[in-house]
Structure 1
Amino acid sequence: MDFSRLQASSKIGDDWVYPAATPLNSGHLAVDTGPDHRLYWEEYGNPAGEPVMFLHGGPGGACSPEMARFFDPARYRVILFDQRGCGKSEPNVAAAGPAVALAKNTTADLIGDIVKLRDALGIAGPMHVFGGSWGSTLAMAYAIAHPDHCASLILRGIFLGAPEDLDYLYQGNAATWHAAPYALTAPGAYIHYPDEWAALLAVLTPEERTDVMASYKAIFDMVPANDAERERQLHAALTWSLWEGVISNMIPEAAATGKFGDADFALCFAQIEAHYFANSLFIAPGHLLGNADVLARIPVHIVHGRFDQVCPLTQASRLVAALNAAGARPATYAITNAGHSAMERENALALTAIMDGLPRLAG
């Protein structure tokens, strides 16, 4: 049977408010040495408009031109850039290897890169900071470090990255899966995607499944000595990437894997994510919600899919509770009938509506 129309029904498709566009400018910005990290960036919209800094997900997800379509091109100056190690930024994990591209690749480095990029592009005053999933994490960390730079935070698919959040995504019932693959022994995205979960765990032995993230990272950290080890490493990266890519959509498109099934993208995405997850995102425990009083001084707009299985809705609930406790309710809190992806129709339209409705920046 052809389920293509059903699979497409949750996507934004032809319902974008603003048309596809080509960048006004693009380039590479040198941000570090040893290794020589160079960020790839693109600029869209109105070069004299209100600045928007777009922070992609992952970590390691990179940007695409479609991400500029959330914004009125007559009003906003939109900056897209690929974070360290991925996309068109250099060195790239897939090309240079993790030993090089993951050196000096931490959340503090990424925050510093945003400062350098805005300075290089002549953004002197407050800007809108727009991020989804890991991009929401980085946006909050950036805002805590530089609140005066932020006119507003527009956050989609809140990701707090606590151990329980990562366990939900990657551990679930893995330790006992070999004996009872359909047993609901722990919370987890596996409940909704059992076939994709089986593929993720099939890469590992029963012993390795006691700590899925650590076992995958061990595969990624391996220096392959032969073709079989190289093949296992690539297969692991593709499987990791496809797991998140498929479950990001409320109606999975198993036959259309997109960028998540591309080998170079997968090597970047999987290895950068594993690097950050193994290091608690390079963010001190409790740092984000513990600084809710700082975030509360900035208008915070939240869009979160009710059926999000990458970042369950409870993560947004924890952020909203922290903001309320700090004395400032979110400026917007939209719970959509969607999954995780920003390209799900309800998420995309909600984000566009928020950007259309923001108070204009003075000057």
Structure 2
Amino acid sequence: MADAPTAPRRTLYPPIEPYRTGRLDVGDGHSLYWEQCGNPDGKPVVFLHGGPGAGISTDHRRQFDPARYNILLFDQRGCGQSTPHASLEANTTWHLVEDIERLREIADVERWMVYGGSWGSTLALAYAQTHPDRTTELVLRGIFTFRQSELDWLYRQGANEIFPDKWDEFLELIPEAERDDLVAAYHRRLTGDDPAAQLAAAKAWSKWEGETVTLLPNPHFIEEFTEDRFAIAIARIENHYMINKGWLAEGQLIADAGKLKGIPGVIIQGRYDCCTPPATAWDLKKAWPEVELNFVPDGGHLYNEPGVLDGLIRATDRFAGR
């Protein structure tokens, strides 16, 4: 697959406000914040944010033509404006798949496009493979599927060789005797009873990820990732999903790619994505030949890097008229 073109590049649509917001009680003590933006009569799309645990932002709305799309965005369990904050109870991939279906009913649509990046791509694949009859198209970025090799890349061997100085910072909190399983070591601290230790672990966990997701260093981005409330949610929830391997069998989402047959799809993948390396996107492409895979030659992991964003906007524009 050839690398995507680099110019001229598309950018975000102008800022918009929701025309409708609400909360959904999904049981187990969880209440989800959701919003709809754009054209109420437009093409339905659900936006699935990353993390897990990151939440939605106002810029996420702007990846879709507001005149042509009816956009539903929501904060997944435990993050953003959803409550309770940073909760791990009844918070699994399959709970979220059920939540998406409940939100589809609130949106009063039969089928919709599913858009997800990073962890959002995992959730999008899980949803589409469970409900292919409800999925019109898939737009995915930074493919992640919870295979052991992908977990090892971030937390054992791989990204540490590209960011050795940042890796050493990540290790500092963990005694050498516990470093054979960093996900488990951080889990003990993120779920422990000491609030100070929990926050320190959350900041270290979130900062390590923040260092790997940008093509070039971005101090402002690291500040956002280490803000107390954000760090607690993303670190606790993300680690909870990592230690449970997303409640997925090894290789499940790629093995089940045949369930996506007939669903048009586009993958935008940064060539130099050090958080979710391109090998996973390539493996998914081989298992799902119909999908269009575009490698961005100067792209990392984040959706708002110029080349990655260009590819995403072009994909949403292309599907807007279907």
Give the TM-score of the pair, scaled to structure 2: 0.94
Q: 1:40 aligns with which of 33, 39, 42?
A: 33
Q: Which amino acid aligns with 2:311?
A: A
Asked if 2 retains the 8 angstrom alpha-carbon contact of 1:309 and 1:340, the reply is yes
The structure that has the greater radius of gyration is 1
Q: 2:103 aligns with which of 98, 117, 120?
A: 117
* Cα distance in 2, alignment partners of residues 29 and 245 from structure 1: 30
Q: 2:11 aligns with which of 16, 19, 43?
A: 16
2:315 pairs with 1:350: no
2:122 pairs with 1:137: yes
* Cα distance in 2, alignment partners of residues 38 and 194 from structure 1: 40
* Cα distance in 1, alignment partners of residues 320 and 115 from structure 2: 15
Asked if 2 retains the 8 angstrom alpha-carbon contact of 1:28 and 1:39, the reply is yes
Q: Which amino acid aligns with 1:351?
A: L
Asked if 2 retains the 8 angstrom alpha-carbon contact of 1:16 and 1:69, the reply is no
* Cα distance in 1, alignment partners of residues 217 and 12 from structure 2: 24
Tell me what 2:260 maps to. Answer: 295
* Cα distance in 1, alignment partners of residues 152 and 131 from structure 2: 30
Segments of structure 2 that go 5 or more residues without pairing to the other structure are 1-8
Q: 2:25 aligns with which of 16, 30, 50?
A: 30
* Cα distance in 1, alignment partners of residues 52 and 302 from structure 2: 15
* Cα distance in 1, alignment partners of residues 284 and 203 from structure 2: 32
Give SS of 1:51's match: strand
* Cα distance in 1, alignment partners of residues 183 and 277 from structure 2: 18
* Cα distance in 2, alignment partners of residues 288 and 309 from structure 1: 21
Aligned pair in 2 of structure 1 residues 359, 49: CA closer, same or farther (>3 Å)? closer
1:146-174, CA deviations, whole angstroms, 9 ceiling, x for partnerless residues?
001100000000001111101100112xx
Asked if 2 retains the 8 angstrom alpha-carbon contact of 1:57 and 1:132, the reply is yes
Give SS of 2:174's match: coil
* Cα distance in 1, alignment partners of residues 220 and 105 from structure 2: 43
Percent of aligned positions that are identical: 41
* Cα distance in 1, alignment partners of residues 221 and 265 from structure 2: 34
Give SS of 1:62's match: coil
Tell me what 2:3 maps to. Answer: none
Give SS of 2:61's match: helix
Shift of the alpha carbon at 1:254? 2.9
Aligned pair in 2 of structure 1 residues 242, 15: CA closer, same or farther (>3 Å)? farther
2:46 pairs with 1:53: yes
1:303-322, CA deviations, whole angstroms, 9 ceiling, x for partnerless residues?
00000000000010110011
Q: 2:164 aligns with which of 194, 203, 222?
A: 194
Give SS of 1:343's match: coil
* Cα distance in 1, alignment partners of residues 53 and 221 from structure 2: 20
Q: Which amino acid aligns with 2:88?
A: L
Shift of the alpha carbon at 1:349? 1.0
Asked if 2 retains the 8 angstrom alpha-carbon contact of 1:40 and 1:88, the reply is yes
Segments of structure 1 that go 5 or more residues without pairing to the other structure are 1-13, 94-100, 173-187, 225-229
Q: Which amino acid aligns with 1:109?
A: H
Give SS of 2:288's match: helix
* Cα distance in 2, alignment partners of residues 44 and 16 from structure 1: 18
Give SS of 1:207's match: helix
2:101 pairs with 1:103: no
Give SS of 1:210's match: coil
Shift of the alpha carbon at 1:45? 0.7
Aligned pair in 2 of structure 1 residues 255, 196: CA closer, same or farther (>3 Å)? farther
In the TM superposition, 1:254-269 aligns within 5 A as: 254=219, 256-269=221-234
**Segment drifting more, 150-159 vs 249-258:** 249-258
**Segment drifting more, 254-263 vs 195-204:** 254-263
Q: 2:112 aligns with which of 83, 102, 127?
A: 127
Higher relative contact order (CA 8 A, sep 6+): 2
2:237 pairs with 1:272: yes
* Cα distance in 2, alignment partners of residues 359 and 293 from structure 1: 25
Aligned residue pairs: how many? Answer: 313
Tell me what 1:182 maps to. Answer: none
* Cα distance in 2, alignment partners of residues 355 and 25 from structure 1: 22
* Cα distance in 2, alignment partners of residues 255 and 154 from structure 1: 28
Q: 2:139 aligns with which of 131, 150, 154?
A: 154
Tell me what 1:319 maps to. Answer: 284
Give the TM-score of the pair, scaled to structure 1: 0.84
Q: Which amino acid aligns with 1:216?
A: Y
* Cα distance in 1, alignment partners of residues 55 and 232 from structure 2: 12
1:297-353, CA deviations, whole angstroms, 9 ceiling, x for partnerless residues?
2111100000000000001011001113xxxx21x2110020001111111111000
* Cα distance in 2, alignment partners of residues 197 and 149 from structure 1: 41
Shift of the alpha carbon at 1:72? 0.3
Asked if 1 retains the 8 angstrom alpha-carbon contact of 2:146 and 2:248, the reply is no
Q: Which amino acid aligns with 1:129?
A: V
1:183-234, CA deviations, whole angstroms, 9 ceiling, x for partnerless residues?
xxxxx1112222211111111111111111110001112112xxxxx32221
Q: 2:64 aligns with which of 71, 81, 98?
A: 71
| RMSD after superposition | 1.4
* Cα distance in 1, alignment partners of residues 207 and 12 from structure 2: 29
